[in-house]
Chain A
Amino acid sequence: MSELYDIDSLLSEVVTLPSLPDTVARITQLVNRPDCPLDLIGKTISADPSLALKTLRLVNSAYYGLRNKITSVEHAVVMLGLRVVKNLVFTAALFDRLKAGAHEYLLHCVSTGVAIRVLAEANPGNLPEEAVDEVFVFGLLHDIGKLVLQEYMAEQYLEVVSMVEEREIPFYEAERAVIGVDHAEVGARVAENWKMSPALVSAIAGHHDLAQCRDTQFQSLAAMLGIADGIAKAAGACSNPADTLDIDDGFWAAGGIENEQLPDLVYGFFDAAPQVEELVNLAS
């Protein structure tokens, strides 16, 4: 039996949380400044050619559905506004980080991002106004704690995978049993370390267990993230073949989703499947 940690002892003794790329950290700081000039954002992104290129490819993908092609980062900033561009840059940077996981992991995260956007667009009344633009990033990041645990606790994680396969239990339960901490808790710390929004931190923390949601005002987002995660798995986009479809009963009421709405929501995700493929190719 391996040693059980709490989140603080895990972070102080074993795990070093990944840092955000410098350019992205700078852009996040700039966007949060009320007096930030738009051209400075454009120039900061353009100074990192790889990030700028990926951002442009992303903004011109079917996912964003823009009629006219955007040819420069400065143009994107003017056209889309700071908040959307911040999410774009963050997504582009995250794609590079998520490539560290297997193709199945990337497919699962992108699928979850597309699924939660479908849910958010259908239920905007339940969400803070700015959340609909942001939720794709929620999907991309929701399992980043798994990458961290796999990197720093490789041996224990093999034990987690064996337990999931043998007992047919969800990963977060096996992680708690083997390590003492689950990927949602670690992922929330990563997001917090990157100074992401409280909504994102709470949603990641609570996406398997609403009781873990840091701030109860974001429980509907956490529930939607958990449901989107489940839809992605049921659609075959699992990061591990042993992964089970496990959505707590309380998520449906918290997410404001009724049985009668489900076919249209799930069909909306199927209709967006080509976007998933395009985004995964873009990231790879």
Chain B
Amino acid sequence: MKWKRQGEALLAPVKLTDGRAGSVVLVGARENPKGAALVFSGGTESDVETVPLTESLHLLSPVQIIEILCMQERVYGTSGLTPPAQFAE
């Protein structure tokens, strides 16, 4: 996944399993229920849905889920994983 920083958040475009395009937004650690979310368009063009990651697992492939969870922990987590060089503070 191609991640970029936007303010305090990390964003990556993602193709959902139902064929729609969406974005993953990371804003905080795994303890924060809103720390990772999926943003995608709903039924109409102006209709944008934001769903916590834990409620949108069926829309993602297993590899995408692993990538998202690991990136969240590396950038916002406390377990000591090394953050990617481009997002290290």
Contact = CB atoms under 8 A, between A and B. Distances in A.
B54 interface: yes
A284 B73 CA distance: 26
B73 A262 contact: no
A274 B81 CA distance: 9
Given A247-B62, A260-B57, A262-B65, A274 B80 contact: yes
Contact of A263 (B58, B65, B67, B82): B65
B15 interface: no
Interface stretch (A41-49, A82-90, A121-129, A228-236): A228-236
A266 B62 contact: no
Contact of A270 (B71, B73, B82): B73
Interface residues of B, number: 23
B81 A235 contact: yes
A169 interface: no
Contact of A259 (B57, B77, B80): B57
B79 interface: yes
Interface in A212-262: 230-231, 234-236, 245, 247, 252, 257, 259-260, 262
Given A235-B81, A266-B70, A270-B81, A247 B63 contact: yes
Given A245-B67, A259-B57, A263-B54, A270 B77 contact: yes
Contacts, number: 62
A267 interface: yes
Given A234-B70, A259-B60, A263-B54, A271 B79 contact: yes
Majority DSSP secondary structure for residues of A touching B: helix
Contacts of B63: 230, 245, 247
A94 interface: no
Contact of B80 (A252, A267, A277): A277
A161 interface: no
A229 to B, nearest CB: 11
A273 B58 contact: no
Contacts of B77: 270
B58 A259 contact: yes
Interface in B69-87: 69-71, 73-74, 77, 79-84
B66 interface: yes
Interface of A: 230-231, 234-236, 245, 247, 252, 257, 259-260, 262-263, 266-267, 270-271, 273-274, 277
Given A236-B70, A247-B62, A273-B80, 15 more contacts: A230-B66, A231-B70, A235-B81, A236-B81, A247-B66, A259-B60, A259-B65, A262-B65, A262-B66, A263-B30, A266-B66, A267-B30, A270-B73, A274-B79, A277-B80
